[in-house]
């Protein structure tokens, strides 16, 4: 047993069972071409692809990828070559992340994980436990869930390429405050349409407009449609695509007093969990990495001829110089 | 920390940067804004302060009571949280008055009309609007709301050349928040009046005959009518002592190809103004450190930045060296067994000391700006205390290498530039370091204001947003 000063960090080592991995490579120099090729490979051919924008540690610029089969690429006249690269090299962080994303998506489809809107964006994955820690009562309009936010990072340690899973934990409150749910509750409470419209007008909403979330104002509800104002323009949307913003002061009054939903218990739970100090935070991250990823079989993960395993121990940084300036 | 598996140990470069001291009245140094302001007073008074702080509030019971409480606290102080009041701390002879606004004209969902009502009431109540400093009491608006009452009010007053301060009803009606918010409110009023509460006492390490300029840049994509879009770049310039000098905008059509040209012009104009107007004497060399956040800067944009520096250097016959530093929030969490910070119950917090730097990889550093921080008590004693709830994340500071530029300041000096700018925390007197440096902290607020100004420009014609900001506001940090 030794004592080491330093910092514990929420990085978990991803280890490959072989030093090199067989991938497929397309030589490209232009960033735009690299990105569009990756898009095509992933959407048309269901491959997993990563960019290398400039030469780095023996990797030439271009696209590195793996697919289930390569016949379609050949028949579509895509020029590629097979390559063997370091299984923990920089470009592999992208392939590893996308491989994790595929497994997470499958688990989301099976209901084993809860995936929020935009769960995979900006090189990070967000996945949550499907069972909520707490629901608001009586309508379960709010659910509190532990969610992991994941990235894959590449570090050079003593000139050795290494991959790490960077995992963070957030306790997120999900609301199902769609206008359709709200209208249903208010109708059951006996509000007529004019009074219902009056109640609904005085709040901020988020509208899903062409898959984008935008702030909007509700004008009037008619059956399952609602007239909204988005940036001074009137639009008609489904009541499922309009969400009440749960934060501002008057909305809270509305949720608690008009709808009768009790949210303070969920909020308090979220507040307490959100102020965990670093040691407990890192421990909890490790606990949920085990529960959501390991126990659900996300790891080990196979890419081409290599199997990657996750070491369930946070890294400890020992500062080398500890200089004071 | 015991029994670690050596497999899980990372040996990485680590540094512990000292928190720079702040300078107050008479150039007196102190660690905490609270202590420095109470003991020494502000560094510099506004050249032409208004005579009155005018509290504008919607005329209903709740708002009136909160306005009364704010007025009393500004006049007479608020226990140990804001001792002695505005006049005494900031050494300005100003009165505080309350002016109500017809509550039927207050509508959060109708920002334009409401902002107009606030402005008209100020114009009615003050014979000379320049002699009144408006503090507007309003409800909280959701963060990130593009067309909000907050943005509209700020815009309405700014366009008239009047800096303003918003006080949020939800914050000031809650006692537990009021006590911590009243001194920062007073601080922001003082700054927007044109005062300088403090500057940096300690400086980055350069020879005496050289100068440093820190420029924070932001880029905003602004939607106009008929689906027209514009890119608008904005830049804030600070001197090495943290003194803010100016903000400039440069709009361009929405075209990525035009971005380098826009950045080149923006940086050139900012440096031309700062070097021409404010730098005393002719430095042998100027180090221009550009802080940015958000979008990645392309190679063409990096080259534009370098070219702007070289061009201004040639024109002014000064050696100008540009540096590019990207600042991002991170999702890393660091835990330290060796921390001087404990919770109220005396339990260890495991918080990392502010100023800790970890070199994660080449040119990429983690900088802890929130965590365990030294503060000065009212007796001047220095102690460590947590500056954040929970487990705060460090920020990521990436040093971007510019082609054909030899950096003379080393990486740690550039990381220090970020910590030093984070020290210019004008939003709090109790937290001596802001999570994000002032050079990029207000990017979002400026982006929203930019959208309003660009829209106005498209209506009134012309192509210079800078001309829309009244001259008298140009020396005031009106956007914080």
Q: Which residue out of B10, B345, B362, B416 would a mutagenesis test of the A interface target, given it has the greatest number of A Cβ atoms within 10 Å?
A: B10
The residue in chain B having the minimum alpha-carbon distance to the alpha carbon of residue A315 is B8
pLDDT tens string B348-366: 999 999 999 999 999 999 9
Q: What is residue B2's predicted lDDT score, i.e. its pLDDT?
A: 43
Options 3.40.50.300, 3.30.470.10, 3.30.420.10, 3.90.180.10; CATH for B199-460 is 3.30.420.10
A204 in contact with chain B, both atoms CB, cutoff 8 A: yes
Q: What is residue B120's predicted lDDT score, i.e. its pLDDT?
A: 95
Q: Phi and psi (nearest 5°) for A179?
A: -60, -35
pLDDT tens string A169-206: 999 999 889 999 999 999 899 988 888 888 888 788 88
Cα–Cα distance between B238 and B252 in angstroms, integer?
A: 24
Q: What is residue B474's predicted lDDT score, i.e. its pLDDT?
A: 76
Cα–Cα distance between A68 and B149 in angstroms, integer?
A: 54
Chain A environment of B8 (Cβ under 8 Å): 13, 311, 313-316
| Helices B175-192 + B61-76 axis angle, to 10 | 60
Cross-chain residue pair B14–A321, CB shorter than 8 Å: yes
Residue B172 has pLDDT above 90, yes or no: yes
CB atoms within 10 A of CB B266: 24
Chain B environment of A316 (Cβ under 8 Å): 1, 4, 8-10
Nearest to A134 by CA among A147, A123, A122, A145: A145
B461 in contact with chain A, both atoms CB, cutoff 8 A: no
All domains of chain A in start order, with CATH: 20-86 (3.30.70), 93-173+271-317 (no CATH), 179-245 (2.30.30)
Nearest Cβ partner of A278 from B9, B333, B360?
B333
Q: Phi and psi (nearest 5°) for B26?
A: 70, 20
Nearest Cβ partner of A7 from B17, B146, B336?
B336
Cα–Cα distance between A310 and A166 in angstroms, integer?
A: 11
Percent of chain B with pLDDT over 90: 59
CATH superfamily to which B45-195 belongs:
Response regulator (3.40.50.2300)
With bands split at pLDDT 50, 70 and 90, how would you rate the model's confidence at B145? low
ipTM score:
0.88
| CA pseudo-torsion sign B353, B13, B5, A314 | positive
Comparing B377 with A185, the larger pLDDT belongs to A185
B151 in contact with chain A, both atoms CB, cutoff 8 A: no
A259-273, B316-330, B395-409, B457-471: which range is least confident on average? Answer: B457-471
CB atoms within 10 A of CB B383: 12
Torsion of CA B149, B150, B152, B158, to 10 degrees: 150
Q: What is residue A324's predicted lDDT score, i.e. its pLDDT?
A: 38
Cα–Cα distance between A269 and A316 in angstroms, integer?
A: 30
Cross-chain residue pair B145–A204, CB shorter than 8 Å: yes
Nearest to B74 by CA among B84, B86, B63, B66: B86
Q: Which of the residues in chain A have pLDDT under 70?
A: 1-5, 246-250, 321-325
Q: What is the DSSP string of B16-37?
A: EPPPPPEE-GGG-EES-HHHHH
Write out the residue limits of the CATH 3.40.50.2300 domain(s) in chain B. Answer: 45-195
Q: What integer is the mean pLDDT of B282-292? A: 91
Reduced to 3 states (helix: H, G, I; strand: E, B; else coil), residue B403 is coil
Cross-chain residue pair B333–A9, CB shorter than 8 Å: yes
Cα–Cα distance between A165 and A153 in angstroms, integer?
A: 6
- Sequence length of chain B is 480
pLDDT tens string B386-441: 999 999 999 999 999 988 899 999 999 999 999 999 999 998 888 889 999 999 88
Q: What is residue B114's predicted lDDT score, i.e. its pLDDT?
A: 94
Residue A219 DSSP code: E
> Residues of B180-206 as b/e, b for ≥16 C-beta within 10 angstroms?
ebbbbbbbbbbbbbbbbbbbbbbebeb
Residue B148 has pLDDT above 90, yes or no: no
Nearest Cβ partner of B139 from A8, A249, A311?
A249
- Chain Cα centroid distance, residue A192: 40
Q: What is residue B417's predicted lDDT score, i.e. its pLDDT?
A: 97
Cross-chain residue pair B358–A317, CB shorter than 8 Å: yes
Cα–Cα distance between A288 and A290 in angstroms, integer?
A: 5
Reduced DSSP (H G I as helix, E B as strand, rest coil) percent helix, strand, coil of chain A, to 5: 30, 40, 30
The residue in chain B having the minimum alpha-carbon distance to the alpha carbon of residue A201 is B109
Using a 10 angstrom Cβ sphere, with 0-12 exposed, 13-18 middle and 19 or more buried, the burial of residue A295 is: exposed
Cα–Cα distance between A61 and A56 in angstroms, integer?
A: 8
For chain B positions 339-378, those within 8 Å of chain A (CB to CB) are 343, 349-352, 356, 358, 360-362
Contacts of A258 (CB under 8 A, 6+ apart): A186, A199
Q: What is the DSSP string of A47-77?
A: -EEEEE-S-BTTBPSEEEEE-S--HHHHHTT
Contacts of A139 (CB under 8 A, 6+ apart): A181, A185, A259, A261
The residue in chain A having the minimum alpha-carbon distance to the alpha carbon of residue B342 is A277
pLDDT tens string B99-113: 999 999 998 878 899
Using a 10 angstrom Cβ sphere, with 0-12 exposed, 13-18 middle and 19 or more buried, the burial of residue B460 is: exposed
Q: What integer is the mean pLDDT of B85-111? A: 93
Q: What integer is the mean pLDDT of B68-79? A: 96
Write out the residue limits of the CATH 3.30.420.10 domain(s) in chain B. Answer: 199-460
Is B293 within 8 Å of B390 (Cβ atoms)? no
| Edge-to-edge strand ranges of the sheet holding A323-324 | A323-324, B14-16, B356-361, B364-367, B395-400, B319-329, B285-292, B210-223, B229-239, B244-253
Please give the helix or strand (H or E) that residue A307 lies within, else none: strand A306-319
For chain B positions 16-55, those within 8 Å of chain A (CB to CB) are 16-18
- Chain Cα centroid distance, residue B234: 14
Cross-chain residue pair B142–A204, CB shorter than 8 Å: yes
Is B202 within 8 Å of B21 (Cβ atoms)? yes
With bands split at pLDDT 50, 70 and 90, how would you rate the model's confidence at B442? confident
pLDDT tens string B44-69: 999 999 999 999 999 999 999 999 99
């Amino acid at each position: 047993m030794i004592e080491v000063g330093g910092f514990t960090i929420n990085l978990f080592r991803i280890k490959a069972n072989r030093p090199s991995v067989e991938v497929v490579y397309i030589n490209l120099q232009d960033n735009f071409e690299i990105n569009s090729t990756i898009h095509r490979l992933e959407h048309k051919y269901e491959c997993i692809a990563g960019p290398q924008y400039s030469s780095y540690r023996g990797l030439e610029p271009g696209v590195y990828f793996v697919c289930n089969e390569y016949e379609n690429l050949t028949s579509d006249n895509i020029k590629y070559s097979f390559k063997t690269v370091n299984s923990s090299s920089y470009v592999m962080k992208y392939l590893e992340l996308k491989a994790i994303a595929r497994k997470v998506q499958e688990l989301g489809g099976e209901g084993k994980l809860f995936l929020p809107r935009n769960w995979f964006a900006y090189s990070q994955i967000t996945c949550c436990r499907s069972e909520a820690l707490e629901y608001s009562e009586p309508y379960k309009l709010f659910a509190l869930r532990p969610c992991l936010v994941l990235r894959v990072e590449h570090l050079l340690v003593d000139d050795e390429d290494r991959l790490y899973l960077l995992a963070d934990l957030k306790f997120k409150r999900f609301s199902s405050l769609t206008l359709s749910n709200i209208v249903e509750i208010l109708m059951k409470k006996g509000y007529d349409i004019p009074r219902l419209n009056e109640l609904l007008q005085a709040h901020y909403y988020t509208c899903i407009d062409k898959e984008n979330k935008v702030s909007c104002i509700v004008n009037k509800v008619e059956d399952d449609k609602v007239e909204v104002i988005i940036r001074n323009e009137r639009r008609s949307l489904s009541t499922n695509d309009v969400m009440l913003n749960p934060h501002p002061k008057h909305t809270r009054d509305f949720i608690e007093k008009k709808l009768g939903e009790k949210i303070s218990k969920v909020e308090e739970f979220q507040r307490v969990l959100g102020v965990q100090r670093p040691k407990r935070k890192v421990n909890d991250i490790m606990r949920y990495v085990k529960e959501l990823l390991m126990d659900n079989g996300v790891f080990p993960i196979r890419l081409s001829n290599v199997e990657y395993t996750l070491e369930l121990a946070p890294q400890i940084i020992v500062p080398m110089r500890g200089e004071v300036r | 920390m015991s029994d670690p598996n050596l497999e899980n140990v990372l040996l990485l470069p680590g540094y512990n940067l000292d928190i720079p001291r702040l300078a107050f009245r008479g150039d007196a140094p102190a660690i905490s804004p609270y202590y420095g302001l109470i003991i020494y007073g502000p560094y510099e008074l506004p050249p032409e302060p208004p005579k009155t702080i005018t509290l504008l509030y919607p005329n209903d019971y709740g708002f009136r009571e909160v306005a009364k409480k704010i007025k009393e606290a500004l006049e007479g102080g608020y226990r140990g949280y804001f001792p002695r009041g505005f006049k005494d701390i900031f050494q300005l002879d100003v009165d505080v008055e309350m002016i109500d606004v017809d509550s039927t004209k207050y509508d959060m969902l109708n920002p334009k009309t409401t902002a107009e009502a606030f402005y008209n009431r100020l114009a009615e109540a003050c014979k000379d609007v320049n002699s009144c400093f408006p503090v507007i009491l309003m409800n909280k608006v959701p963060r990130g709301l593009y067309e909000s009452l907050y943005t509209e009010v700020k815009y309405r007053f700014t366009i008239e050349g009047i800096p303003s301060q918003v006080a949020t009803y939800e914050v000031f009606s809650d006692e537990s928040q009021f006590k911590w918010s009243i001194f920062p409110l007073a601080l922001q009023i003082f700054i927007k009046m044109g005062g300088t509460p403090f500057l940096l006492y300690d400086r980055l390490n350069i020879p005496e005959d050289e100068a440093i300029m820190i420029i924070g840049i932001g880029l905003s994509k602004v939607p106009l009518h008929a689906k027209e879009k514009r890119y608008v770049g904005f830049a804030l310039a600070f001197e090495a002592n943290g003194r803010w000098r100016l903000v400039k905008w440069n709009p361009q059509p929405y075209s990525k190809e035009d971005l380098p040209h826009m950045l080149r012009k923006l940086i050139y104009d900012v440096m031309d103004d700062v070097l021409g107007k404010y730098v005393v004497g002719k430095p042998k060399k100027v180090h221009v450190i550009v802080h940015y956040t958000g979008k990645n800067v392309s190679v063409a944009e990096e080259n534009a930045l370098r070219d702007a520096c070289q061009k201004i250097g040639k024109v002014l016959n000064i050696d100008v060296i540009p540096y590019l530093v990207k600042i991002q929030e991170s999702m890393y969490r660091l835990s330290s067994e060796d921390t001087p910070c404990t919770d109220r119950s005396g339990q260890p917090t495991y918080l990392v000391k502010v100023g800790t730097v970890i070199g994660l990889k080449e040119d990429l550093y983690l900088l802890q700006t929130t965590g365990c921080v030294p503060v000065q008590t009212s007796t001047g004693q220095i102690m460590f205390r947590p500056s954040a709830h929970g487990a705060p994340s460090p920020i990521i500071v990436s040093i971007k290498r510019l082609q054909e530029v030899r950096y003379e300041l080393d990486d740690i000096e550039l990381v220090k530039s970020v910590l030093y700018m984070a020290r210019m925390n004008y939003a709090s007197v109790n937290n001596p370091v802001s999570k994000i440096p002032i050079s990029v902290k207000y990017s979002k607020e400026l982006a929203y204001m930019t959208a309003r100004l660009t829209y106005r420009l498209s209506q009134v014609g012309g192509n210079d947003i800078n001309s829309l900001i009244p001259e008298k506001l140009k020396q005031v940090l009106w956007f914080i």
